[in-house]
């Protein structure tokens, strides 16, 4: 399955345009039970942008393909005319323009990598991004090679009544032996990574959408038989996305048909293939009984994300894979703005920043640190990262902040007008923003060039009556391959409160009118900003709405943080003040929290919970103790055992000290809205932490009688984490009720593996043998293994090292089955340099063990090798 060739590093600086382009691609898929024949007819021409003097042999990408035949301009090629290697097909004698026909045999039913063409629950489907198309046929599998595709699919009509591909259906008919065919044509040129094929027997939910120019688009959403009752929300989300993109960006859908297919075996969340999106079922299926409020939000967000890709990814795509953030960072930002309009903007922003701090900051401080536009890679799958996606979105958000909504829209309009139908670079996007707004963003480009999380240190200096100065200094730690960092352009949104906790007006010059908030733009390593205000003392509310993705250092007192937590008019910063307050306490050098510290948090929580003007969803977020992964991700050195003890101490204290308050909230909050349910279940969680025996019956009753999955799962989660007793009865009850719903079973698995119990690892291992678990299904792996290593931080890092050995065992097993998922799990080891020497030695032992494997995939090798290089 794997090549024995040494992994090759690809560098952005070495990019050269392809010498050849493929003008037309005609594909024939003949689907049989044990194999598939793929006939490819390519019209190939020399690239007019190629300036090389010599016409070189053409090298087509191809992996795990059995070559049946090959014709050049209608003539059969002799063995001497071509060379087939492990990953390429080299044809020696070619001209400026030629036609190439190949027939290959592939085995989709044995393709456990879930890349290329594979089978899932009795149906065929594809995943070609980033480099999966080369597992289908020999091709120039590069994103800048854009071609017009015509596809014919043949298969057994009884087994596969649906034969779907990109674009519009142009022909269909009957064949012999119970077979049939459907032909498709996509009028828009596209790279091979956007190709899609689905064949199967599925149910379909249909609807229509009328575009702003009056065209009617047919919408089709395909799911497994019997799941149509879980599809309406996804369809409504699609329609809302189409309408929003027209209103906000003037983007109209371009084909007459838009299809979504949900599959249960999928490495990613979803894929934006032109006109035929293929989705993980997790982001399509949702109704009140089977999906939580968070699931509904996830479906809405991912449906929107893939639809928005039609313009920011499909109509304009990447020149090369180093430019991935061009489409992904931009489209994540677009789906974030959509979600902020559909849901609570403040809650959405908090959720976005939690991902940055827990996952992206950790990536920035680890061996896989890279700019949002990477400089090199071995395996492209490893760079579908929170840096490229989420930090990339933060960089786009800074553009939006600096230009304002109107200026940003002008830049987007110019980008679409200038580059429609092209494969371009991040530089092209920045240039469109500059040209549309008359800006020079030379310094801003450092966000694309440099890895690492900038540190912003701020102090407030009182100069004279009414005159204050904000002194700012930025720095960025060294990252692999980048020792020295140049300053970034930092938009810093600022407001102020006085010493009594009330917002105050201020000005940037002594004769200007007062404002409640301003945007400061930092462009140097050290920079000061003068502020004029009548107040005697000020408490700065810095980096409002997380206006730059940096680590902020300001010497707040606990009293100042408590004041901001209680009264900051900016919802994000109010939440953030509470998180900072608790983080300071948890990450201090003391072995346990003091009574004074606990009292400060108690009082702050009471003020939040008693604030009648604050939304219940925000209240729930505000009273959550910072997540362990976030605390680790934001730190350079972590005393894990001390952190675990203090983290548990704080949660237990808050549960016990405010037990009557939690009980009152639980009994008086209606649960009619998602925010109500969120707060009510937060109260239940704290009550169970305080005294699970006393409140067990409350949780059991909620699980048994809940009329929605949000409440039912919340009850199961606290029951599964309770002390020994009746918990197994209710875990089994949930299983018997929902065992036919695969996505609910994923929740059932996860609820059990995050129990902070010394014996939990044995239970995790037992779940791997459960009849509902499959090592070949990525959702199941994420639900059990992923949830344990990422969600049960204390037990994964148990000082015995058993958690590390367990993860290494799984990575070794998955390396043979699905290297992409294996590599994702291997990244959980990337923080090892932050820990104590004993844990470092234990993790290093497992990394060495993995790297010593024969036939180690490039995916896993790259992650493990970079981790070991940091030792």
Active site residues: 306
Q: Within a 10 A sphere around the Cβ of 434, how many other Cβ atoms?
A: 17
Using DSSP bridges, classify how beta strands 179-190 and 147-156 pair: parallel, antiparallel or unpaired.
Answer: antiparallel
Residues 6+ apart with CB under 8 A from 266: 114, 120, 125, 127, 278, 279, 280, 281, 778, 779
Strand 123-127's sheet: what is its strand order?
116-120, 123-127, 197-200, 162-165
Long-range contacts of 201-205 (CB under 8 A, 24+ apart): 201/122, 201/123, 201/159, 201/160, 201/161, 201/162, 201/225, 202/123, 202/162, 202/261, 203/227, 203/228, 205/231, 205/232, 205/235
Ramachandran quadrant class, 462 (left: phi over 0; alpha: psi -120 to 50; beta: rest): beta
Type and span of the H or E element at 681: helix 674-690
Cα–Cα distances in angstroms (integers) from residue 25 to residues 117, 147, 184, in the given order: 17, 6, 12
Q: Give dist(CA 425, CA 416) in Å, integer.
A: 13
Q: Within a 10 A sphere around the Cβ of 86, how many other Cβ atoms?
A: 11
Type and span of the H or E element at 692: helix 692-705
Cα–Cα distances in angstroms (integers) from residue 154 to residues 71, 121, 178, 259, in the given order: 22, 19, 11, 20
Q: Give dist(CA 379, CA 815) in Å, integer.
A: 14
DSSP class per residue in 296-318: HHHHHHHHHHHHHTTTBTTTBEE
Q: Within a 10 A sphere around the Cβ of 293, how many other Cβ atoms?
A: 21
Length of the chain: 871
Q: Within a 10 A sphere around the Cβ of 569, how many other Cβ atoms?
A: 14
Type and span of the H or E element at 54: none
Which tokens belong to 597?
């510290």
Q: Give dist(CA 572, CA 340) in Å, integer.
A: 13
DSSP class per residue in 156-185: ETTT-SEEEESSEEEEEEE-STTEEEEEEE
- CA angle, 79 then 82 then 86, to 5°: 105
Instruction: State the alpha helices, DSSP H only, in 502-627.
Output: 558-567, 571-586, 595-610, 616-622
Q: Which of 105, 42, 47, 29 is nearest to 73 (CA)?
A: 42
Instruction: State the alpha helices, DSSP H only, in 343-477.
Output: 345-355, 361-364, 386, 392-419, 426-437, 446-449
Q: Helices H, strands E: what count in the chain? A: 29, 31
* Greatest Cα pair distance in the chain: 92
CB 787 within 8 A of CB 750: yes
């Amino acid at each position: 399955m794997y090549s024995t060739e040494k992994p090759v590093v690809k560098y952005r600086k070495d990019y050269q345009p392809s010498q050849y382009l493929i003008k037309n691609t005609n594909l024939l898929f003949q689907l049989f039970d044990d194999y598939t024949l793929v006939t490819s007819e390519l019209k190939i021409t020399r690239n007019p942008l190629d300036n090389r003097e010599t016409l070189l042999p053409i090298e087509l990408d191809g992996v795990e393909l059995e070559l049946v035949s090959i014709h050049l301009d209608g003539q059969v090629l002799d063995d001497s005319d071509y060379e087939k290697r492990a990953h390429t097909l080299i044809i020696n004698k070619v001209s400026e323009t030629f036609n190439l026909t190949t027939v290959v045999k592939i085995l989709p039913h044995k393709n456990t990598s879930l890349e290329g063409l594979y089978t899932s629950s009795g149906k065929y489907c594809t995943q070609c991004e980033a480099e999966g198309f080369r597992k289908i046929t020999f091709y120039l599998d590069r994103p800048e090679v854009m071609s017009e595709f015509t596809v014919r699919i043949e298969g057994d009509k009884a087994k596969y009544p649906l034969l779907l591909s990109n674009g519009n259906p142009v022909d269909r008919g009957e064949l012999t032996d119970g077979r049939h065919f459907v032909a498709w044509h996509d009028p828009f040129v596209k790279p091979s990574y956007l190709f899609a094929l689905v064949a199967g027997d599925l149910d379909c939910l249909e609807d229509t959408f009328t575009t702003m120019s009056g065209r009617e688009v047919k919408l089709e959403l395909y799911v497994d038989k019997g799941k149509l009752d879980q599809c309406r929300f996804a369809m409504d989300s699609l329609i809302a996305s189409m309408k929003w993109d027209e209103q906000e960006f003037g983007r109209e859908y371009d084909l007459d048909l838009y299809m979504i297919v949900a599959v249960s075996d999928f490495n990613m969340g979803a894929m934006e293939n032109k006109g035929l999106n293929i989705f993980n079922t997790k982001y399509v299926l949702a109704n009140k009984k089977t999906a939580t409020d968070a699931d509904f939000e996830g479906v809405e967000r991912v449906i929107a994300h893939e639809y928005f890709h039609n313009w920011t990814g499909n109509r304009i795509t990447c020149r090369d894979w180093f430019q991935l953030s061009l489409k992904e960072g931009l489209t994540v930002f677009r789906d974030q703005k959509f979600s902020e309009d559909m849901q609570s903007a403040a809650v959405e922003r908090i959720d976005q920043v939690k991902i940055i701090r827990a996952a992206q900051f950790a990536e920035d401080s680890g061996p896989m640190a890279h700019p949002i536009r990477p400089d090199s890679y071995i395996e492209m799958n490893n760079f579908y990262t929170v840096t490229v996606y989420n930090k990339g979105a933060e960089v786009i958000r800074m553009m939006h902040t600096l230009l304002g909504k109107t200026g940003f829209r002008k830049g987007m309009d110019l980008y679409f007008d200038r580059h429609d139908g092209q494969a371009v670079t991040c530089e092209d996007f920045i240039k469109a923003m500059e040209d549309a707004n008359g800006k020079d963003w030379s310094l801003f480009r450092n966000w694309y060039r440099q890895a690492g999380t900038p540190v912003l240190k701020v102090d407030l200096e009182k100069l004279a009556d009414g005159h204050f100065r904000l002194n700012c200094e930025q720095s960025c730690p060294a990252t692999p391959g980048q020792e020295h960092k140049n300053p970034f352009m930092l938009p810093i949104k600022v407001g102020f409160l006085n010493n009594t906790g009330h917002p105050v007006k201020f000005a940037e010059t002594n004769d200007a009118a007062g404002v409640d908030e301003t945007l400061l733009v930092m462009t140097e390593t050290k920079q000061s900003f003068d502020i004029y205000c009548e107040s005697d003392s000020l408490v700065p509310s810095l980096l409002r709405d997380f206006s730059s993705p940096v680590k902020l250092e300001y010497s707040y007192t606990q009293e100042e943080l408590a004041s901001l937590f209680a009264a900051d008019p900016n919802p994000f910063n109010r939440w953030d003040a509470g998180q900072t307050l608790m983080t300071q306490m948890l990450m201090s050098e003391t072995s346990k929290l003091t009574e004074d510290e606990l009292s400060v948090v108690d009082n702050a929580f009471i003020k939040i919970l008693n604030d009648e003007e604050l939304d219940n969803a925000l209240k729930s977020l505000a009273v959550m103790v910072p997540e362990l992964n976030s605390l680790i991700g934001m730190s350079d050195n972590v005393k894990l055992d001390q952190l675990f003890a203090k983290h548990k101490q704080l949660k237990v204290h808050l549960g016990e000290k405010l037990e009557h308050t939690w009980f009152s909230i639980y009994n008086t909050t209606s649960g009619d809205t998602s925010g109500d349910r969120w707060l009510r279940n937060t109260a239940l969680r704290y009550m169970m932490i305080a005294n699970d025996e006393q409140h067990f019956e409350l949780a059991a009753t909620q699980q048994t009688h809940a009329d929605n999955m949000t409440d039912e799962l919340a009850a199961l989660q606290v029951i599964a984490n309770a002390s020994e007793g009746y918990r197994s009865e209710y875990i089994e009850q949930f299983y018997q009720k929902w065992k036919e719903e695969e996505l609910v079973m994923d929740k059932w698995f996860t609820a059990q593996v995050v129990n902070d119990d010394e014996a939990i690892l044995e239970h995790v291992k037992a779940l791997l043998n459960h009849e509902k678990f499959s090592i070949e299904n990525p959702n199941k792996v994420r639900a059990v293994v992923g949830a344990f290593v990422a969600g049960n931080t204390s037990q994964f890092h148990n000082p015995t090292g058993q958690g590390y050995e367990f993860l290494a065992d799984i990575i070794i097993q998955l390396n043979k089955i699905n290297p992409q998922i294996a590599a994702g799990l291997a990244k959980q080891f990337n923080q090892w340099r932050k820990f104590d020497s004993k844990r470092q030695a234990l993790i290093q032992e497992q990394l060495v063990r993995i790297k010593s494997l024969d036939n180690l995939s490039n995916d896993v090798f790259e992650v493990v090798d970079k981790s070991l290089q940091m030792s």
